[in-house]
Amino acid sequence: MGDPLSVAASVAGLLSLGLQSTEYLYNFYTACRDQHQELARVADKLGGLLESLQIIDEIVRTHTWRHNDQSIIQNIETSIARSEDIIHDLQDETAKFKKEPTDGWRKKAVVVGRRAAYPFKRSTLEDLGDDVNNFRDNLSLALQTLQLKEHQNTQNDIEAVNAIINNIRAQHVSDSLRQWLRAPDATVDFNDASAKRHESTGQWLVQGPAYTAWLQQDNSFLWLYGFAGCGKSVLCSTAIQHTILHRQSSPHSVVAFFFFTFNDHLKQDASAALRALLLQLCGQISGLESDLTRLKESYNHGTPPVKVLLEHLRQAVTQCRHVYILLDALDESPPDSSRDKVLSVIETLRQWQLPSLHLLVTSRDLPDIRDHLQLPTLYQGAEHVMLNNDSVYQDISRFVSFKVDHDPQLQRWGQHREKIKSYLTQHAGGIEKHLEKCLRSLPQSLDETYERMLCGIESQEEAQRILSLLCYASRPLSVDEVTEALAVDIDDLECYDPSSRFTGGADDLLRIFERWIQLHNPDNPWYTKVNYQKTAKDRASATYYASLLGLDSVLTYILSISAVDVNTQGGYYGNALQAALANGHEKAVQILLDKGADINAQGGHYGNALQAALANGHEKAVQILLDKGADINAQGGHYGNALQAASANGHEKAVQILLDKGADVNAQGGFYGNALQAASANGHEKVVQILLDKGADVNAQGGRYGNALQAASANGHEKAVQILLDKGADVNAQGGFYGNALQAASANSHEKAVQILLDKGADVNAQGGYYGNALQAASFNSHEKAVQILLDKGADINAQGGCYGNALQAASFNSHEKAVQILLDKGADINAQGGCYGNALQAASFNSHEKAVQILLDKGADVNAQGGRYGNALQAASANGHEKAVQILLDKGADVNAQGGLYGNALQAALANGHEKVVQILLDKGADVNAQGGLYGNALQAASFNSHEKGAEGLVFKTHFLDPGTPAALKVRPSKAYRHPTLDARLTKQRVLAEARVLVKLSGVGEVSVPGVLSVEWDAGRKAKGRDRQQGADGRRGGGAWLLMEWVEGQSVKEVVRAWDSWHRHGRCSAEEKAQGQEALKALMRRIGRTIGFLHSKGGVVHGDLTTSNIMLRRSSASSAAADGEQQMPSLEGDIVLIDFGLATQAIQDEDRAVDLYVLERAFGSTHPMQEHWFDTEVLQSPHGYSGSFKGAGTVLKRLDDVRLRGRKRSMVG
């Protein structure tokens, strides 16, 4: 290569040859593309290739290369040189198309026939298509490099400008000097003007001769002038940017600028401009700050006159080789008070005749400015540029085209956009502000469009009322209905005035609204089949809403229509009567009852009308209902029956009324099981006493808490506990979530209740419930006082049972060091086996509670004890990425290669969960990478199992698609160096295409949400023609593929469930809230099961890598904090989205589906051991989960049992 900053002539010639051949072939196939789709496909491919070649050719011929562009030139040359054989192939193809007949009529006939047929032969089209594909692949490197370099150059320029702007701001100058100068900040105006500049405009100026001469010539001056609003300030900011960039290549150069402005009096006079210029130069010229500090002292901190400021500016200018000063908008300095001094300063600057000074100013063409600048004739010399020229008009045209093409409000005008561009350009008169005004005058949004239409309506009051009716109507209204509705006075809903009816007809409505409304024939199928049916299904009735809001007059009118059914079902409350009752609208209740509302109708949140009234304490309404014959013992709704509703909310009078009316005091059902448990759970002692006096069974079983005593104990209502015990409650009764009352009180740290129960003979060691026994419940929740009370009463410190096996393990799991210490001091067996985690050390290690781990080890815990889900403490800590705990365990002698547990060993556990730092720690300690066993068999297989950030055999990055506002996920499959290049390229391509096909297929399955595919690409390899094209010119192999997908905003189910588990264990919430939280989590698990069922059945796809990391909830955050800082239950709402289909297959075999479920089951158990018992009942067996998602689900679940058996055998062998 002769010239290091140009493309070699041989390569340029080769490029020209390829361009000519491609252009000929493109024109040929374009002319006949309509004859067959294969011809059209080839034409499109050639068009894409031609466009790429033209771009590169334009750059090669016209681009001015920078000194550091050597690598780009090499990439262009390499790309073209690699395609030499293809270019010659294309030239040969072109020659065959043009082949001329030889002498002799027979030979001529044969040649002409072959020439005519050749372009359409399948082999020709296939070869041509391959050549084009390969050629474009080769060019892609050059195009990408050029694009990247252009972006890099732009970024570098921006960074350079910003860096110098920071110097110009002189932020390092002393505060005292800055305060003394009180110089206006010109960078604010510069940034504002720069932000208004449209890309590629203004280049004519900075690349033109006038500006170039101003940059290079000594003592140069340039005046830009034009009409008001023509873009002078924007052009000035463009000149400032390019001057700053020029400063980089010109040593000893500085830049300063100032923007005069009519709307800020601090930026209008000569003193302000000079002070701003001096402060900017302080940040760029050494020693100037000291000079100005002396000046400040000599003027006793007062402001020096303009003459003195000018003298110091002159001294600063003489210290540099080039000083570029740019002053914008001289005309915005007031003519009567300031402009003369500003112009005098400019005149003085020019009279200095300093070679290093370069002065650029902008303004309107005003006589006083022209006189001071000594330019009586504006058409001579090169010291001025008039902005009323063709270049400015071209900038205007570009700006208009961009605005019209990209403004969302103009997209709908389609074919009219060219006319809009032409009109705006012509009528802007070359004035940018006029153009902006034209564009701004268009409606900026649909709302503004409607606003203008509304302003054109003459009958404003009638229009407002009618539009309000149409907006809030649950279905299209008839003209008669509009007429009647207007008879209701909006300001007085009690008043129905027939004289206020709209007297006009349909034509009058159309006259008032013109384009606003449209009348439909009632027989129109759209009206009857689509709109009305959808409304009837999805919305409650007008009667319901009138009752809900207590709009009695409206309700009366609606019910006067004979077709209205007063008992129509719908809405949260089920029907209109319940809606009125729940909100205490007594008059509406009476209206509905008078119209025949069914007092015992079932449905809605409360189940029936009586329960709705009782739940909200509306005693008058209760009496009305009872007088009307309401069924006092009707079952249904949240509370099960009326008595439970009244009891739960502490309405004593209502309870007494119901009992007097014959309510069954021991009726079963509802959330609390019976009325006594409801009252006890909420601490309503008087109601508890009333119920007991009426014969309530104090030991009745059922409901959330199992019995009334457990309900009162769980919520710490000591008085209710005492009342129940005095009435003979069985202190050791079993049942409910907590198993017994003592465990309920202990779990929630109600020490007084604990003491009362123990004094009444509660069995301190009773087994059962979630925690196994009371001591374990108190230990788990770190209630030290309750722990101490129980131990003092003889609780068995080593009692086995419950999820955590024993109290020490429960306390260790939650890192309650004080409870751990109490238990150890009382003789707890530190190595006791049992529970989910086998022993206390493993439980503490699982949750990375380093203090608890250290305490246990210091007290003699066996660091290598076997048992539990993870086999040993080191594996538990490694599986969850707890580096500190891992290090502590290893330092204490943990066996880095200990076998057993879910993952087989600690290394597999860390690899499977993507904890790279832990992996490195284990390897440094000698972990065996070839050890066999566990869930994945060996470390290599475990490494392929990972989270959202690392997909199957690929890496996932967050990027954007088309614009920064559209986030996207980029999944990269790198090439494998250990595979043959051809095999690697083929396998990588097949796998990325397979994943893309699965995603596209599933995007059509409504019940399964997956990321949408945005783009896919791979290194297609090269067809060997004349030489091996598998390697690049530099000898390095290519390869790899990527898949660009929609980015799923939200959290993985793994993160959500762990957040929920933390809230459930540590959050300060009532037992009822915890119960509701459990139901919410179960509902989520059922939704997951159902989604997987649809994936298997309707999608016909097996995921291959189902974990809770690959199941997302599409939403913004996993949890939020309460106002008082307390932890809230994380939201479990959101669309379920399945991700990472890198190992997916399109399969319908029951065996494949069962294996898919087995992988998820094992992953779920290892990640969420506390919720594992719900996996089978909710995800798999629930009729709302996998089991009920398709007919063949039962067969798959039976096959899953076989797969589980094989899995256990494998684990035992491994």
Among candidate residues 737, 812, 755, 782, the one with its CA nearest the CA of residue 1078 = 737
Quick check: 283 and 169 in contact, CB under 8 A? yes
| DSSP state at residue 1177 | I
Are 288 and 402 part of one and the same domain? no
Among candidate residues 1194, 1185, 1186, 1196, the one with its CA nearest the CA of residue 1150 = 1196
Quick check: 968 and 1045 in contact, CB under 8 A? yes
* 177 belongs to a structural domain: yes
Are 297 and 279 part of one and the same domain? yes
**What confidence score (pLDDT) does residue 345 get?**
94
Q: Within 10 Å of residue 446's Cβ, how many Cβ atoms?
A: 9
**What confidence score (pLDDT) does residue 1090 get?**
94
Quick check: 975 and 1031 in contact, CB under 8 A? no
Are 331 and 426 part of one and the same domain? no
Q: What is the domain range of residue 328? A: 170-388
* 792 belongs to a structural domain: no
d(CA 273, CA 183): 8
Are 174 and 86 part of one and the same domain? no
Quick check: 89 and 21 in contact, CB under 8 A? no
Q: Look up residue 954 and give its amino acid.
A: G
Quick check: 59 and 142 in contact, CB under 8 A? no
Are 329 and 185 part of one and the same domain? yes
CB contact set of 248 (below 8 Å; sequence gap of 6+): 160
Are 892 and 1010 part of one and the same domain? no
* 890 belongs to a structural domain: yes
1047-1085 pLDDT, tens per residue? 888 999 999 998 888 888 776 677 778 888 888 999 999
* 767 belongs to a structural domain: no
Q: Please give the tally of structural domains in the chain.
A: 7
* 23 belongs to a structural domain: yes
Give the strands of the sheet with 1050-1052, arranged side by side.
Answer: 1050-1052, 1111-1114, 1135-1138
Are 1035 and 1070 part of one and the same domain? no
Give the strands of the sheet with 253-259, arranged side by side.
Answer: 253-259, 322-328, 357-363, 220-225, 384-386
d(CA 181, CA 302): 9
Among candidate residues 590, 551, 543, the one with its CA nearest the CA of residue 571 = 543
- Helix segments in 1098-1179, DSSP class H: 1150-1167, 1173-1174
pTM score: 0.42
Residue finishing a domain among 490, 518, 546: 518
Q: How many residues does the chain have?
A: 1214
**What confidence score (pLDDT) does residue 379 get?**
39
Count Cβ atoms within 10 A of the Cβ of residue 63 and give its class: 0-12 exposed, 13-18 middle, 19 or more buried: middle
Q: Check if 1105 is active-site.
A: yes
* 779 belongs to a structural domain: no
CATH number of domain containing 1037: 3.30.200.20
CATH number of domain containing 261: 3.40.50.300
Q: What is the DSSP string of 779-798?
A: HHTT-HHHHHHHHHTT--TT
Q: What is the dihedral of CA 119, 125, 130, 131, to 10 degrees?
A: 10
Are 1165 and 1195 part of one and the same domain? yes
Residue finishing a domain among 90, 122, 157: 157
Q: Within 10 Å of residue 246's Cβ, how many Cβ atoms?
A: 18
d(CA 581, CA 591): 12
Catalytic residue among 328, 1105, 1140, 1150: 1105
Are 280 and 339 part of one and the same domain? yes
Question: Could you tell me how far CA 296 lies from the centroid of its own chain?
Answer: 55
Q: Which of the residues in the chain have pLDDT under 50?
A: 1-5, 104-118, 151, 154-156, 376-382, 429-435, 446, 493-494, 514-515, 523-539, 946-952, 1020-1039, 1116-1126, 1208-1214
**What confidence score (pLDDT) does residue 512 get?**
55
Residue 955, beta-bridge partner list: 972
**What confidence score (pLDDT) does residue 952 get?**
43
Query: Could you report how far apart the first and last alpha carbons of the chain are, in Å?
Result: 63
d(CA 757, CA 745): 9
**What confidence score (pLDDT) does residue 1022 get?**
36
> Furthest-apart CA pair in the chain: how many Å?
126
Residue where the block lists tokens 């100005």: 292
Count Cβ atoms within 10 A of the Cβ of residue 726 and give its class: 0-12 exposed, 13-18 middle, 19 or more buried: exposed
Are 194 and 340 part of one and the same domain? yes
3-state DSSP helix/strand/coil percent for the chain, to nearest 5? 55, 5, 40
Are 177 and 295 part of one and the same domain? yes
Pairing of strands 1111-1114, 220-225: unpaired
Among candidate residues 762, 754, 638, 608, the one with its CA nearest the CA of residue 704 = 638
Distances (CA, A) of 900 to 330, 896, 1083, 1212: 83, 12, 34, 9
Q: Within 10 Å of residue 444's Cβ, how many Cβ atoms?
A: 13
Q: What is the dihedral of CA 778, 781, 785, 790, to 10 degrees?
A: 10
Task: List the structure tokens of 733.
Answer: 């009764």
d(CA 527, CA 524): 5
d(CA 1199, CA 636): 39
* 747 belongs to a structural domain: no
Task: List the structure tokens of 819.
Answer: 């409870």
* 542 belongs to a structural domain: no
Count Cβ atoms within 10 A of the Cβ of residue 1109 and give its class: 0-12 exposed, 13-18 middle, 19 or more buried: buried
d(CA 447, CA 661): 59
For 436, the 3-state DSSP assignment is helix
Task: List the structure tokens of 150.
Answer: 């252009």
Pairing of strands 963-973, 955-961: antiparallel
Quick check: 1143 and 1107 in contact, CB under 8 A? no
Q: What is the dihedral of CA 819, 820, 821, 826, to 10 degrees?
A: 90
Are 136 and 190 part of one and the same domain? no
Residue finishing a domain among 985, 1018, 1047: 1047
CATH number of domain containing 1179: 1.10.510.10
Distances (CA, A) of 680 to 616, 647, 902: 18, 9, 44
Give 827-871 as a 3 state SS string: CCCCCCCCCCCCCHHHHHHHCCCHHHHHHHHHCCCCCCCCCCCCC
CB contact set of 533 (below 8 Å; sequence gap of 6+): none
Given CA atoms 1165, 1170, 1171, 1175 in this order, what sign does their dihedral have?
positive
